[in-house]
Amino acid sequence: MKSAIAALLCGIIFGLGLTISEMVNPARVIGFLDVAGEWDLTLMLVMGSALIVTVVGFPLITRKAHPLLAEKFSLPTKTELDMPLISGAVLFGIGWGLAGLCPGPALAGLASLEPGVFLFVAAMIAGQFIGLRLERVLA
Amino acid sequence: MIEPNVAGGVIGGALIGISSVLMLLLLGRITGIAGILTGVITWNKADGLSWRAAFVIGLVLGAVLYQIFVGPLPMDMQAGTPVLIIAGLLVGMGTRLGSGCTSGHGVCGIARRSPRSFASTATFMLVAVATVFVTRHLLS
């Protein structure tokens, strides 16, 4: 229960971050990706600012024996660069460039009740199920 | 150049970073939205369904609070129905196969100095830039 409340609060902070930074706006995202057009560097400021906090904060935390509300850290352990990683990033990059939406802003953007965002999220969920199936076939 | 949202970008980015740091400190988890979504849609009760569902609800709630206290969400859709469906499918498949998205790889993975996250972030950034170049400049 405690961890669910903590995650809810973290989700709210994350959602405020995505909206205050305007990263929910596909126009801002496409504007950043459109380096040959009227370039918009907002996304770079958002990522830079987020990274300053995580780059400083993460090492301080992982030094601890365990997180405050869980017995252990659950961190990814893989280190090798494989085909699923790179081909997945390619597919994601194409989708991101086409719509200007990635998972966080798409989910937060549901709050706008914009029909296009609901459509995108439905397709994204279907895409994840296809991806899960593919992972089983490839494994 | 389009006028950047400097204050919003820096403050919003810091909030995203703070949320990710708190998730690691409290739950010991990486704040990867794509992975969190997978846990919810597969209804994986054995491995932390409740915190993942709570996070997604919070994400939407954060945007609702913005609408209550600040104003309407700034959202100018950049694609029509068929493109949104194709893009959504690609984002879903890609984040599953590639084990993460802008948050998990781009913000958290890079902070962990994960070689996979550096490779993923560089790849999806370059491919997205190339995609926009093709759709906005070569095809239009």
Element (H, E) at A29: helix A26-33
Cβ within 8 Å, pair A46-B135: no
B44 backbone φψ class: left, alpha, beta (φ>0; ψ -120 to 50) = beta
pTM of the complete model beyond 0.95: yes
pLDDT for the residue numbered B44:
86
Looking at the partner chain, which of B2, B14, B76 has a beta carbon nearest the beta carbon of A53? B14
Query: Which chain A residue's Cα is nearest to B30?
Result: A75
Q: pLDDT tens digits, residue range A71-112?
A: 999 999 999 999 999 999 999 999 999 999 999 999 999 999
Go through A93-127 and write b for each residue having 16 or more CB atoms within 10 A of its CB, e for each that does not. bbbbbbbbbbbbbbbbbbbbebebbebbbebbbbb
Q: Give the span between the Cα atoms of B26 and A73, in whole angstroms.
A: 10
Kindly provide the ipTM of the predicted complex, given to two decimals: 0.97
Q: pLDDT tens digits, residue range A30-68?
A: 999 999 999 999 999 999 999 999 999 999 999 999 999
Chunked into runs of 10 residues, chain B (140 residues) has average pLDDT values of 92 98 98 97 91 98 98 95 98 97 96 96 98 94
Q: Identify the band that residue A1 occupies on the pLDDT scale cut at 50, 70 and 90.
A: confident
Q: What is the DSSP letter of B108?
A: I
Q: Identify the band that residue A138 occupies on the pLDDT scale cut at 50, 70 and 90.
A: confident
Contacts A46 to B, Cβ<8 Å: 9-10, 12-13, 16
Give whole-number Cα distances, B39 to A7, A16, A70, A125, B43, in Å.
14, 22, 18, 11, 6
Q: Identify the band that residue A20 occupies on the pLDDT scale cut at 50, 70 and 90.
A: very high
Contacts A79 to B, Cβ<8 Å: 114-116
Contacts A128 to B, Cβ<8 Å: 34, 37-38, 41, 92-93, 95-96
